[in-house]
A and B are shown apart, each in its own frame.
Chain A
Amino acid sequence: GQSLEQPSEVTAVEGAIVQINCTYQTSGFYGLSWYQQHDGGAPTFLSYNALDGLEETGRFSSFLSRSDSYGYLLLQELQMKDSASYFCAVPTGGFKTIFGAGTRLFVKA
């Protein structure tokens, strides 16, 4: 089967760094995406890793290790507005995408 696992909740303080992990099991692998969703909002795309390594976009970075079927999203200099749910997702062939259950990030002052 195909599945993604990520922690259900993470709490961190403003200004800190937080890492949200994702492990996946898929029959074919094309890349790992991350989406952010605020309460009451829609998922918005953050990043996509097709190759091993770290991709940096401002305060957010995403890492992928294909050999370990593992990736993470790294959020630096946390701000209150970063409180949201974060989903890892994998396209499984064609354009069918499977989403993880989401990690709810709480940023405390």
Chain B
Amino acid sequence: DAGVIQSPRHEVTEMGQEVTLRCKPISGHDYLFWYRQTMMRGLELLIYFNNNVPIDDSGMPEDRFSAKMPNASFSTLKIQPSEPRDSAVYFCASTRGGVGTDTQYFGPGTRLTVL
């Protein structure tokens, strides 16, 4: 399997622009997570999906952030409008649901810089 795929790997944009991050989870995994990592706040869970349905979006910082999962193999995280404080590495991760483990497989991340 190719692992979790994210695109783009790097994104530089100007404040006020819309940013869309993309993720393809590992085939067969029914949970998908979006995380944000910064030096100040560490690794934060933004939202997660189960079988394409958003389960917990309490980590989404504000209404400028939205996430969708239209099918089992694709998810997007959108920021509109973007702000400099959104600069971070955004990771997508997936896992197969089940009892006894919490192994999450992370994608390579998207490094976002908002100028």
Residues in chain A within 8 A of chain B (CB atoms): 30-31, 33, 41-45, 48, 50, 87, 89, 91, 94-102
Contact = CB atoms under 8 A, between A and B. Distances in A.
Contacts of B95: 95
Interface stretch (B15-23, B66-74, B77-85, B106-114): B106-114
A90 B63 CA distance: 27
Interface in B74-115: 91, 93, 95, 97, 100-109
Contact of A96 (B48, B91, B100): B48
A95 B103 contact: no
Q: Helix, strand, loop or mixed for chain B's interface?
A: strand
Contact of B101 (A42, A48, A89, A100): A48
A24 to B, nearest CB: 13
Contacts of B7: none
A97 B45 contact: yes
Nearest to B49: A95
Contacts of B97: 95
A96 B45 contact: yes
Nearest to A41: B108
28 contacts: A30-B102, A33-B103, A42-B91, A42-B107, A42-B109, A43-B43, A43-B93, A43-B106, A45-B104, A48-B101, A48-B102, A48-B103, A50-B100, A94-B55, A95-B31, A95-B33, A95-B48, A95-B50, A95-B55, A95-B97, A95-B102, A96-B56, A97-B33, A98-B45, A99-B42, A99-B43, A101-B42, A102-B42
